[in-house]
Amino acid sequence: MKPCAYYLLTFVFLTTACACSQAQEPNNAVIFHISSAHTSFPDTGRAKGHMYDKVLYSAAEHYGDSTVLIIAPKNFDAKKQVDLVFWFHGWRNNVDSAAVKYQLIRQFLASKLNAVLVLAETAKDSPDSYGGKLENAGVFKALVGDVLTGLKSKHLIAKNCTSGHILLAGHSGAYRVMARIIQNGQMAVDETILFDALYAETERFMAWIQADPSHRFIDIYTDHGGTDDETRGMMKLLDTIHTMYVSTQERAVTPQMLQANRLVFIHSLNEHDKIIANPDNFLLYLENEPFLKKMKE
């Protein structure tokens, strides 16, 4: 489906505003790109591109982009540590199109969290869940280091500032790179949010949940896309090991429910592409998680 004219205009504005090397300050945020050698691609696993449904997605067009999009609230304040929210897009998207299509920047800024939103490029505009280099040991840790360097170059954080809490969120095919990051990234991840994305890798998410009782996991899923069966299977596994969780309908979710439970499974009757910003679920989940602080008024 082609995006509507509003999204096209917004996309042109965002990419134009962010493409230059200097930090931009539209409204209440500083938005800029960096390039990192520690994103997913280029990677030897896609050196010859990727064939899907008899279509070749070339390495040059889809597996050579190492862009990282960084969004910091204008009143953001980090002295010793900076909390980071990483978003990973799904199939047939890129960091800029996902930011616009799912209104990620608007929702993140509306949360008024004293944190930074980071979108690291994976398979660009390709139907592919492979996470490239980010699946390898320590690469995510190096990516976090590059993000900190980028923030320091814009004088947004102090020179001795380190990473604080880290949250991972993603849609659809992002499940694989997220699962491999929590397993191999060599960075502590406090929370994982899957937006209709639990297609596989359940054993890795389970191991991470069991590794620390403070780890939070939110899974919102829809019918008939493949995530419903996998989600029910994961809940059965949690039952087997006597681990408490809450299973509910999207319309019944409340801030109190999110605040009181560390494992939340949410069934949505909405469409696959509408569960992020229609309604504003990304904002709702961010506003009611325990790790990130609000900015000072």
* 162-183 tens-digit pLDDT: 999 999 999 999 999 999 999 9
**In this structure, what DSSP letter does residue 54 have?**
T
CA distance 41 to 252: 40
User: Which SS3 state, helix, strand or coil, does residue 130 take?
Assistant: coil
Q: Which CATH class is domain 5-287?
A: alpha beta
Mean of pLDDT values over 222-245: 96
* b/e code 237-262 from CB counts within 10 Å (16+ = b): ebeeeeeebeeeebeebeeeebeebb
d(C-alpha 70, C-alpha 68), whole Å: 6
Confidence band, pLDDT 50/70/90 cuts, at residue 26: low
DSSP states along 197-247? --SS-HHHHHHHHHH-TT-EEEEEE-SSSSHHHHHHHHHHHHHHTT---EE
Please count the residues of the chain.
Answer: 297
C-alpha to C-alpha distance for 195 and 93, rounded to whole angstroms: 15
pLDDT of amino acid 168: 99
φ and ψ of 151, to 5 deg:
-65, -40
Domain ranges of the chain: 5-287
Question: Average of pLDDT values for 192-218?
Answer: 98
197 vs 12, 68, 289, 295, CA distance in Å? 28, 21, 20, 30
CB atoms within 10 A of CB 62: 21
Q: Taking residues 220-241, what's their average pLDDT?
A: 96
> In 10 A of CB 87, how many CB atoms?
27
* Per-residue model confidence as pLDDT tens digits over 87-111: 999 999 999 999 999 999 999 999 9
pLDDT at 79 over 90: no
* Mean pLDDT of the residues in the chain: 92
